[in-house]
Amino acid sequence: MTAPAAGWYPDPHGTGGTRWWDGGAWTEHAAPPPAPWTPAPAPWSSTTTAPAPTGWRRHRYSLLVVLFAAVYLGLALTVHIAVLGVLPALMAARAVQAEEPLAGGAVVIAIASVLLAIAGFAGLWRF
Q: Where are the domains of the chain?
A: 1-34, 58-122
pTM: 0.54
E strands of 15-115, at which residues? Answer: 18-21, 26-31
pLDDT number for residue 47:
62
- Percent of the chain topping pLDDT 90: 18
Average pLDDT, the chain: 82
Handedness of CA 29, 25, 8, 17 (dihedral sign): negative
Measured distance CA(98)–CA(58) in Å, rounded = 9
